Amino acid sequence: MKKPFVTKEQVENIVKDFPTPFYLYDEKGLVDNAKAVYDAFSWNKGFKEYFAVKATPNPVLMDILKGIGCGFDCSSQTELMLSEAVGACGADIMFSSNDTPEEEFVYADKLGAIINLDDFTHIDFLEETIGKIPETISCRYNPGGVFKMSNGIMDNPGDSKYGMTKDQLFEAFKVLKSKGAKNFGIHAFLASNTVTNEYYPILAGQLFELAVELQKETECKIAFINLSGGVGIPYLPDQEGNDIKAIGEGVKEQFEKILVPAGMGDLAIFTEMGRFMMGPYGALVTKAIHEKHIYKEYIGVDACAVNLMRPAMYGAYHHITVLGKENAPCDHVYDVTGSLCENNDKFAIDRKLPEIEMGDYLFIHDTGAHGFSMGYNYNGKLKCAELLLKEDGSVKLIRRAETARDYFATFDCLDIADKLDHIMESERN
């Protein structure tokens, strides 16, 4: 059974200063987990976790991870800016993007980031854009077909828009070397949100064999293998989570079996985990404000898909705890909904929960990654605040809630901006 990292009493104190809905992040859980990742890969001298900024782009959380040794995986200019703002530069940043605009390559190069090329045609594009090929460069590999493990087909890389074919990869390394590249990396992402200790070791084995073949044929120095993300979390309450220690040992086994005999034991291992690093250590806290009794039983809360769109977009499951009723019987069946003019604006469908009364606080689990970051403003809804539950039990505001002024800010090019300012001023008074 999933347990919230905050109590009803704590939330009742928090809402005195910060009304629901809000995101709440658990600093202790985040720090302990990041340290466990580094411990699991401590056998590899060059290991580095590049936190996927897209998962939770908050500079306070990024700074915490940076203090533990993490770098940042960026896919856009604004993510690069956030990374620079928290003091990251050079090899602390991995820039993995696709369909990349010129200005983003220019900015990544200015920061000295490791650039991970998604496509063979990007070689000439990058050289024309920044006037050179960096000495350290990475290429993204897509093996095509389907990716299988013992528990079946995990994903279908052949349908993915990312990465190069094997032939393109070999040719890319030769071309890049001829243009001055000296240190090479291989990057691959073949399956998403895997809840199995097999994924990284199997992927690593395939990439290690590829690296040996590549270095032998092209005489390019393979400096690192980036296993990217894909290590998931158990969203379901009866699901067993990944054991990062076992995963690290599995990768080590492949490393010693394949790379060490090939004289490539100095190769660094990189990861780019977002969901595993942050997912369980964030929650969306919302309040029950309406109940509806028609053909089904509905509970309306003050959050909506604007705050967390995964259930609406993917039908994703997020466990819900009614704070203060953790031990009460789940003898009621509800759809838990938001207020958007869309019928898929539901956090839960036919969910067994304790009886919910108006004013109860609901703790929506595992929203620390791809939660706030996927928010939007449909129906003119505003994004909520982000809060950090610090290790000493205090709470820190790390992103204020949006206001109507934020929503209307990009109308400053129109005459109506003054009228909107007047309306907002009237509402405040």
Residue length, the chain?
429
The secondary structure of residue 390, as a DSSP letter, is -
Pairing assessment for the beta strands 136-140 and 147-149 based on DSSP bridges: unpaired
Q: How far apart are CA 295 and CA 142, in angstroms?
A: 48
Question: How big, in percent rounded to 5, are the helix, strand and coil portions of the chain?
Answer: 35, 25, 40
Residue ranges of the chain with per-residue pLDDT less than 70 = 145-159, 429
Q: How far apart are CA 312 and CA 30, in angstroms?
A: 26
Range 192-215 burial, b when 16+ CB lie within 10 A, else e: ebbbbbbbbbbbbbbbbebbbebb
What residues have CB less than 8 Å from 268, skipping those under 6 apart? 44, 45, 46, 47, 48, 223, 224, 225
- The closest of 317, 316, 234, 228 to 271, measured between CA atoms, is 228
Q: Tell me what pLDDT residue 153 has.
A: 42
Dihedral, CA of residue 254, residue 260, residue 263 and residue 269, to nearest 10 = 60
pTM tops 0.75:
yes
Q: Tell me what pLDDT residue 158 has.
A: 60
Q: How far apart are CA 364 and CA 2, in angstroms?
A: 11
Q: How far apart are CA 399 and CA 403, in angstroms?
A: 12
